[in-house]
Amino acid sequence: MDRWHFGWAAAYGALTVGQLGLVAAKWNPLGPFDREFRDTLLVGGIESGLGAVAMLLSPRLDCDRAKSAKIERTLFWGGHAGNLIVNLAGSLILAHETSWGAGAVSFALGYPIGLLNTYTMPRASWHAIRVAALPIAHGGTLAVIGAF
What residues have CB less than 8 Å from 52, skipping those under 6 apart?
Answer: 9, 12, 13, 16
Q: Is residue 57 part of a domain?
A: yes
Q: Is residue 73 part of a domain?
A: yes
What residues have CB less than 8 Å from 3, skipping those under 6 apart?
Answer: none
* pLDDT recorded at residue 148: 41
* pLDDT recorded at residue 1: 84
* pLDDT recorded at residue 108: 96
* pLDDT recorded at residue 61: 81
Q: Is residue 18 part of a domain?
A: yes
Q: How many domains does the chain contain in total?
A: 1
Average confidence (pLDDT) per 10 residues, the chain, 148 residues: 92 97 96 95 97 93 85 93 97 96 95 96 84 57 50
Sign of CA dihedral 46, 50, 51, 52: positive
Q: Is residue 108 part of a domain?
A: yes
Q: Is residue 49 part of a domain?
A: yes
Q: Is residue 147 part of a domain?
A: no
Expressed as residue numbers, the domain containing 11 is 2-123
Q: Is residue 9 part of a domain?
A: yes
